[in-house]
A and B are shown apart, each in its own frame.
Chain A
């Protein structure tokens, strides 16, 4: 089917309602996420990258280096899929893998929520702004000629959303099945400069410290009657707040560094983490990459 399809101008109404539906769906998801955390003040919590211990799934037992390499290759394979059908298949496989890694669904759900705002922009804009080609099916509303709902654009948006969701779902099995220091040690073994992985570990550690500090300052401001609004006063208060956060962290930085040196820090932490490769590691990597190849082959031979 191609060409333009004249539909009644009344169909424009549901189209106008679409942004509203996306918006309210978005609010609802945030509401669910809030409810799960319990009522109360604004949610300042940053999800922990802690690994869900206790579980001993095949993904947990996998050598981190093989896991990292396979997932990274797979992620690039997934984002290069060109058809919604294969992308949907990939999403199903990712869900299966997620289930296999025995990670709570709420974590993956939060990841999807993190992308929702950005991706809804594509869902709303692409059908309306995609360039009309001769083979496209475009819905035109009555006599409004310039506004067409291009179904190819909708396909494209759905493809993007499927690819993004699949990679997002891979992130949890990748990161939550080993403690962060082990994952980073694996990265270092794979050739990422060790200084970089060490820094990442420090940043991750102090993130929660400063978050706590920022929260205390925020509470102090609220106690003194500060309420955010679109005004110069808010701008000034927030400027001072951010400035204070910087000053305090600069000073803390000096103390932290001195303390690290006093404890014998020489640029690296001792790494008691050892890796031993089992045949199963190779097998799992081969299986995952094979699956990726299969997806690419299906994608290449898909017509339409």
Chain B
């Protein structure tokens, strides 16, 4: 095991090359609905178990199924209202189980990126051959059902291997969401090709806020979103920032949560200088205008 993942260089937040966004925007804002499928009887994994009760854990299963049947459609309505396209972190088995969802995403011109196959299948322990098969399955499935290439990758249930990032670069994935070390995109060290990390704000994630860490109320969540935005907007005047809201329709799409969330979205989108965009578009802009400068600056600072 490694004590330092050694996938990025240390780069302090001050004295960085200035990041600019289109039309002089201060903040690149992207919203990530995690559209997931959890199996009722997942195969056991040797190192991780998510369900508290022996399968079938119908409370775990049915509460998540709520997202696909009801919550997502409520979320789509709110995002449409404020002109926010989703960047979907997709369990690609949803393409097979629920093609109506994919159709609704494509109709809205949303981006589909990878969140593995099922949220009940983890990457831990995969051999290289298995990992390649897994990545190829995801890329082919998204291509087949949407025509899109896979630009982003959030490992299913945040399960990683030490190979994952190198393999993603090899398969020409543009960005990973698995690193939470920064509020700007950052180059990732890979063996071949290029990869960047995209800020995916673990503390803005509704599942962390409501379930895993904080148990906050929906209105408290809306306050934290606004405060996060205010700070990133202020800092973005000097050097462009990225604001991300990672969401789970089974949580945010509940009737008692969607109202306060809509207010937060209205607050953000009512500001000038906010680039309301997708992960792919942020990554493409960053590679085009900033990647080489940032890599050069980081190389120079590590040589000092």
Our verdict on whether A and B bind, yes or no, reads: no
Residues of A at the B interface (CB closer than 8 Å) are none
